[in-house]
Structure 1
Amino acid sequence: MKFENLIIDKKRNIGIITINRPSKLNALNKATIEELHIAFKVLNKNIEIKTIILTGSGEKAFVAGADISEFANFNIEEGTELARKGHEILFNFVQNLETPVIAAVNGFALGGGLELAMAAHFRVASTNAKMGLPEVSLGVIPGYGGTQRLPQLVGKGKAMEMIMTAGMIGAEEAKEWGLVNYVVDQSELIAFCEKLAEKITKNSSVAISAAIKAINANYTNGVNGFSVEIEQFGVSFGTNDFKEGTTAFLDKRKPNFE
């Protein structure tokens, strides 16, 4: 796969997507969003890839926001369509991806950048990372899921504060609030995420995909998360991974999932 704004690497069963627009602090423009959709879609279909790590190039930014120059003159209809399409092809797409996605936040994650990190299944930040949703300082609100995912992660009060003040928080504060799982030195960030990915890889990809679906159901309006869990639990009994996992346990050996 060759992209203009992305670098794709593979290490064993891990796919690594690096957003590569360093002169723009990896800001999300229309082309980059479309390339990300394709990259995630292709890696998700690759049976050898068990986990995906998403990061930004350089040492300054994960993604420092959206490319404002592309939509500064949009009207109501164009703004609505911008958010709708973004949700569809990238942010919701990543959240519901069958392959686990770890966001390696290596610097500024602002606006659309933080929204992209929050769409990942969990996040690891470097010590120099700064996170925030500054949209109200531009006369607009977060439009790529920020008003929904941030409260889910940090609670309503903290989310209200972050969005209303348009301020940034550091990595340790983000960890304290539950926005990121771990904070590590930038030089260790990718290696740390790879170790997490390797732990995930040892487990059943089929079961992990079912777990992602069940967990996300709890945050979907009109969907009973418990019902989805029951359904996915039952479906698991018909998979080869269930047979292998339970047989390996009873035989006191490590499972060899397909």
Structure 2
Amino acid sequence: MRHLSSFPFAKDDMTSAFETIGLDRQGSVAILTLNRPDVMNAINMQMRTELRRALAALRRDAEVGAAVLTGAGDRSFSAGMDLREFDRMNGGTPIAEMKRYRWERGEGIAAFDKPLIAAVNGLAVGGGVELALLCDLSFAADTASFAFGEVKRGLIPGNGGTQRLSRRVGQARALDMILSARTVDAAEALAIGLVEYVVPRTELLARAVALAAQMAAHAPVAVRTAKAAIQRGAALPLADGLLLEQDLATFLYTTEDAKEGPRAFLEKRTPVWRGR
């Protein structure tokens, strides 16, 4: 496993950037760990900033082909928003400034163009579920659970939960989860499509990393372009999505990797990807 010090950050940047997350490497897969186990990995503004900075660096690192996001400890993936910090912010920040202050500091996940897999190792509440929804797909430990508790506190999910959950599981199931604030166990999460895989807790990280590594082994530009085609095309009518696909496929014909892939197949050898 490759540790933080070997990533492309300046030495003085590492201390300030990674107080609330961990960053390791297994081969071509980066492992990001939400690391505030004393507060069940609750998301504060510092963690959001650190995630954004780490993901921006991983985008630029040609040795990283995919990433896995998980939580520290056995109890929680993330308990969501740090309510103590929110209470302080809510009392000291003018309402007119709250939206700009909170949402200008995104997690950076939506802009991450490489495969990103969530490994939900325990409780995921509110913002924790929203983090998993931002990932391309999710593994859950068989002991994991999911809940949106915001309405119990006079709030609503405010970082994509109302929009991404309904697109993932359907409007009726999103209404069920968010309005009831009930807890969904791993088996139900799998059944409704909230996660793609449920595995034993002891196998969770290994299984998520294995799939990420399988994705990272392929031509980097092709993987990123395929992800972009799927994500961007989902918001388009089919005819427009097909045109987008044709344009992106044509672009890939101009890359060195598009020549290397068929050549390696004909020569019965493993392709050597150059990422260009």
Partner of 2:95: 76
The one-letter code sitting in structure 1 at the alignment partner of 2:139 is V
Q: Of 45, 55, 76, which aligns to 1:61?
A: 76
TM-score (norm: length of structure 1): 0.92
The one-letter code sitting in structure 1 at the alignment partner of 2:100 is E
Deviations 1:189-245 (A, max 9, x none): 111112112211221111111111111113447994333222211111111111111
Q: Is the 8 A contact 2:65 2:217 kept in 1?
A: no
Q: Is the 8 A contact 1:71 1:79 kept in 2?
A: no
Greater C-alpha radius of gyration: 2
Counting only pairs closer than 5 Å after superposition, residues 136-175 of structure 1 correspond to structure 2 as 136-175=151-190
Deviations 1:38-96 (A, max 9, x none): 1111112111011111111000011111112222325532432245224xx31xx3133
Partner of 2:258: 242
Q: Of 102, 114, 135, which aligns to 1:120?
A: 135
Distance in 2 of aligned mates of 1:95 and 1:122: 13
After superposition, the Cα gap between the structure-2 partners of 1:179 and 1:250, relative to the gap in structure 1 and judged at 3 Å, is: same
The one-letter code sitting in structure 1 at the alignment partner of 2:219 is S
Partner of 1:48: 63
Provide the secondary structure at the position in 1 that maps to 2:119: strand
1:12 matches 2:31: no
Provide the secondary structure at the position in 1 that maps to 2:109: helix
Provide the secondary structure at the position in 1 that maps to 2:151: helix
Q: Is the 8 A contact 1:96 1:213 kept in 2?
A: no
Provide the secondary structure at the position in 1 that maps to 2:273: coil
Deviations 1:165-211 (A, max 9, x none): 11110111111111111111111111111211221122111111111
Aligned residues: 254
The one-letter code sitting in structure 2 at the alignment partner of 1:31 is Q
1:132 Cα deviation from its structure 2 partner: 1.7
Deviations 1:91-144 (A, max 9, x none): xx3133121111110001111111011101111000111112211111111111
The one-letter code sitting in structure 2 at the alignment partner of 1:243 is K
Unaligned runs of 5+ in 2: 1-13
The one-letter code sitting in structure 1 at the alignment partner of 2:221 is V
1:249 Cα deviation from its structure 2 partner: 2.6
Provide the secondary structure at the position in 2 that maps to 1:71: helix
Distance in 2 of aligned mates of 1:219 and 1:113: 24
Partner of 1:226: 242
Percent identity, please. 38
Q: Of 11, 17, 23, which aligns to 2:38?
A: 23
Distance in 2 of aligned mates of 1:221 and 1:236: 21
Distance in 2 of aligned mates of 1:9 and 1:16: 5
Q: Is the 8 A contact 2:137 2:195 kept in 1?
A: yes
Provide the secondary structure at the position in 2 that maps to 1:16: strand
Partner of 2:219: 204
Q: Is the 8 A contact 1:19 1:57 kept in 2?
A: yes
TM-score (norm: length of structure 2): 0.86
The one-letter code sitting in structure 2 at the alignment partner of 1:4 is E
